[in-house]
Amino acid sequence: MSKLEELRKKIDHYDRQLAAVLEKRLEIILEIMAEKKEKRMPIFSKEREEQVVKQIGHYVTNPDLKEEVRYIQRHVLESCRRIQSKRLFPYHITLVGFMGSGKTTVGIELSKMLAMEQMDVDRVIEEKMKMKVSEIFQLYGEQVFRQLESSVVEELANQENVIIFCSGGGVVLNEQNVKNLKRTGVVVWLKATPEEIFSRISEDNTRPLLKDNMSVANIESMLEGRLHLYEKAADVVIETDGKTVEQVSFEIVDQLMRCDLDGRTGINQVDRRASNL
């Protein structure tokens, strides 16, 4: 046997051990998840993960390899988050809310927390059209934008992979959009007061519907016309004023776990797909 063959044999031996250990770890994670769910405890904890990553470094004897093992452990933990969120939330999670309600930032945080892919309706439109949303409004007007928005919402809602998707603030204006969103997913409304929205986006001039009239009063009157639509669409409502992105994300996870979604046919279909993963 050549030296290389010998070394590969050794590697195979350790990979086999690694596979068995990882399999056990994932199984225990699911047991922990069930336990936490029953006790209504928060499922994900950043502090605990940091502790686990730090701790594994202490078990490594070769100082040159400590960081590498910690790096691998971070990936193991990501995979553990994914396996849990697939079981807990086998449906799309859609974030809706007015401009500046935090859909995009919360979507990014939530996608890290749940190790789920995140897609932004406005970004998908921009990629398809190869121009910014503000340019689409300027060149073609709001109606064309709304048509593009509806077709992207439908496309994403039908996607097999479970995703977190963030829709533009006006997505709820169209009843068909809401139907599509609710067919295979849960709608989370990120609620914010006009004052809070203003403080978040007053410096931002990329919002075509507000850029020429950025004021609390204008936000208030636009919001007024949409409130009942967000209310009607939402399965879960989160008050975001004064909260950090992380706090809002934790609250979403917590509320989704309490959410009773029985009888939602589309969700059950996604459910079946997810349970085969």
208 binds ligand S3P (CB under 6 A): yes
In the complex, least distance from residue 72 CB atom to ligand S3P, rounded to whole angstroms: 36
194 binds ligand S3P (CB under 6 A): no
Q: Which stretch binds ligand S3P (CB under 6 A): 61-69, 162-170, 183-191, 227-235?
A: 162-170
In the complex, least distance from residue 237 CB atom to ligand S3P, rounded to whole angstroms: 17
123 binds ligand S3P (CB under 6 A): no
DSSP character string of the chain: --HHHHHHHHHHHHHHHHHHHHHHHHHHHHHHHHHHHHTT--S--HHHHHHHHHHHHHH--SGGGHHHHHHHHHHHHHHHHHHHHHHH--SEEEEE-STTSSHHHHHHHHHHHHT-EEEEHHHHHHHHHTS-HHHHHHHH-HHHHHHHHHHHHHHHHT-SS-EEEE--TTGGGSHHHHHHHHHHEEEEEEE--HHHHHHHHTT----TTTTT--SHHHHHHHHHHHHHHHHHH-SEEEE-TT--HHHHHHHHHHHHHH---TT-HHHHHHHHHHHT-
Q: Which stretch binds ligand S3P (CB under 6 A): 11-19, 32-40, 165-173, 211-219?
A: 165-173
122 binds ligand S3P (CB under 6 A): yes
In the complex, least distance from residue 170 CB atom to ligand S3P, rounded to whole angstroms: 2
- Binds ligand S3P by CB under 6 A, chosen from 107, 168, 185, 266: 168
- Binds ligand S3P by CB under 6 A, chosen from 33, 99, 162, 229: 99
Q: Which of residues 52-81 bind ligand S3P (CB under 6 A)?
A: none
102 binds ligand S3P (CB under 6 A): no
Minimum CB distance to ligand S3P smaller for 102 or for 266: 102
207 binds ligand S3P (CB under 6 A): yes
Positions that interact with ligand S3P (CB under 6 A): 99, 103, 122, 133, 168-170, 207-209
